[in-house]
């Protein structure tokens, strides 16, 4: 099988993504640091990349991004990689990027569910969960986006049903991938000023709550930011993203990353984003690589606007 390694030619394997992150680090050591968040169930390293001027002793406000909580959502993963490349490679040539990287620290975890992502390349393209076996069941995996310790397993999660795609795990943070992500974020919680968890698909920019349809205390602020964000995205690609509380614009979920970052870490700007295509598209999770660039641009446009709301 031919190995495609060119940038926009194909969706990258996890090994290629890690290779690219390390290359970005080698290119600019004062700007980039690749780090480990710990190991996955199958003992792979979960890598993150930090991007900021003077990265080795940064005390700047953090914008934290992650992708690939769900294995099959490849366009999410490619978009995190796109954003990281944009921030590093355009640092010296693009004034607005330089400003974003000087003023803020960007921490990006492009693939949270590493084992699952690899499984979607090798075995089952539509796998969603992680790859940890369940006790007393032949069904494998937990939905990492139901495994966070916030209103865990109360709604929109199939408690006790190991075979379900929304099985929340045996207890909050029972899974190494969600646990490692949470422990790391908790350790830098005072600096995190915005958080985005990228998924696909649906073209939605969503705020808290996932677990209930009532509006959270900061919703006015959130809706002002989201409105500006979706307009910026529309200006880039003429793609319309709907916005609002997750429980209203998609459905109720509990134990998801966005609610945990909002409710437990207290980060006002905590968003779950469903990238292209729209809910009406037949394409779903399976996009051609020609989407990598336009969707990456949408993510950058949305994040630039989000950054303007971080003081």
Of 116 and 176, which CB lies nearer to ligand PAY in the complex structure? 116
Q: In 3-state terms, the chain is what percent helix, strand and coil (to 5)?
A: 35, 20, 45
Q: Of 177, 274, 293, 298, which is the active-site residue?
A: 274
Report the side by side order of strands in the sheet with 192-202. 32-39, 45-51, 105-109, 62-67, 192-202, 269-278, 204-207, 242-245
Helices first, then strands: H and E counts in the chain: 9, 8
CA count, 13 A, side-chain hemisphere, 181: 34
Which residues of this protein are in contact with ligand PAY, per CB under 6 A? 70, 145, 199, 201-202, 210, 246, 250, 253, 256, 258, 272, 274
Binds 86: which of Zn ion, ligand PAY, none (CB < 5-8 Å by kind):
none
Strands 32-39 and 45-51, by their bridges, are antiparallel
Binds 255: which of Zn ion, ligand PAY, none (CB < 5-8 Å by kind):
none
Binds 256: which of Zn ion, ligand PAY, none (CB < 5-8 Å by kind):
ligand PAY
Binds 202: which of ligand PAY, Zn ion, none (CB < 5-8 Å by kind):
ligand PAY
Can you read off the two tokens belonging to residue 174?
A: 């029972």
Report the nearest approach of Zn ion to the CB of residue 246 (Å).
Answer: 11
Task: Please give the DSSP secondary-structure letter assigned to residue 11.
Answer: P
Report the nearest approach of ligand PAY to the CB of residue 19 (Å).
Answer: 27
Report the nearest approach of ligand PAY to the CB of residue 91 (Å).
Answer: 31
Can you read off the two tokens belonging to residue 190?
A: 């005072």
Which residues of this protein are in contact with Zn ion, per CB under 5 A? 70, 73, 199
> Which residues, in sequence order, are bridge partners of residue 55?
none
- What are residue 173's phi and psi, to 5 degrees? 60, 35
Of 126 and 235, which CB lies nearer to ligand PAY in the complex structure? 126
Binds 233: which of ligand PAY, Zn ion, none (CB < 5-8 Å by kind):
none
274 noted as active-site residue: yes
Report the nearest approach of ligand PAY to the CB of residue 185 (Å).
Answer: 15
Q: What is the 3-state secondary structure (H, E, C) of 252-286?
A: CCCCCHHHHHHHCCCCCEEEEEEEEEECCCCCCCC
Of 79 and 258, which CB lies nearer to ligand PAY in the complex structure? 258
Of 210 and 296, which CB lies nearer to ligand PAY in the complex structure? 210
Of 132 and 199, which CB lies nearer to Zn ion in the complex structure? 199
Report the nearest approach of Zn ion to the CB of residue 196 (Å).
Answer: 13
- Cβ burial of 92 (10 Å; 0-12, 13-18, 19+) is exposed
> Which residues, in sequence order, are bridge partners of residue 206?
244, 272
What residue number has its CB nearest to ligand PAY?
A: 199
Task: Enumerate the active-site residues.
Answer: 274
């Amino acid at each position: 099988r031919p190995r495609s390694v060119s940038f926009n030619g194909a969706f990258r394997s996890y090994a290629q993504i890690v290779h690219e992150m390390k290359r970005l680090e080698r290119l600019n050591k004062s700007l980039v640091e690749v780090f480990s968040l710990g190991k996955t169930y199958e003992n792979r390293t979960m890598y993150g990349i930090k991007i900021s001027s003077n990265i080795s002793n940064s005390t700047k406000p953090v914008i934290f991004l992650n992708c690939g909580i769900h294995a099959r959502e490849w366009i999410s993963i490619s978009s995190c990689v796109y954003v990281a490349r944009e921030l590093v490679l355009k640092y010296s040539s693009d004034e607005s990027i330089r400003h974003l990287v000087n003023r803020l620290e960007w921490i990006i975890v492009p693939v949270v569910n590493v084992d699952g992502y690899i499984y979607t390349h090798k075995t089952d393209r539509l796998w969603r969960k992680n790859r940890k076996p369940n006790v007393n069941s032949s069904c494998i995996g937990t939905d990492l986006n139901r495994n966070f310790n916030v209103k865990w397993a109360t709604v929109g999660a199939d408690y006790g049903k190991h075979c379900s795609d929304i099985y929340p795990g045996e207890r909050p943070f029972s899974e190494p991938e969600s646990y490692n992500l949470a422990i790391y974020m908790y350790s830098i919680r005072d600096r995190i000023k915005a958080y985005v968890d990228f998924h696909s698909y649906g073209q939605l920019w969503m705020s808290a709550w996932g677990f209930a349809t009532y509006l959270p205390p900061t919703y006015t602020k959130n809706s002002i930011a989201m409105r500006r964000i979706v307009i910026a995205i529309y200006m880039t690609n003429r793609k319309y993203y709907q916005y609002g509380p997750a429980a209203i614009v998609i459905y109720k979920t509990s134990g998801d990353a966005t609610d945990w970052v909002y409710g437990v870490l207290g980060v006002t700007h905590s968003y779950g984003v469903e990238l292209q295509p729209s809910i009406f598209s037949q394409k779903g999770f399976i996009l051609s690589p020609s989407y990598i660039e336009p969707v990456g641009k949408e993510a950058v446009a949305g994040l630039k606007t989000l950054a303007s709301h971080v003081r």
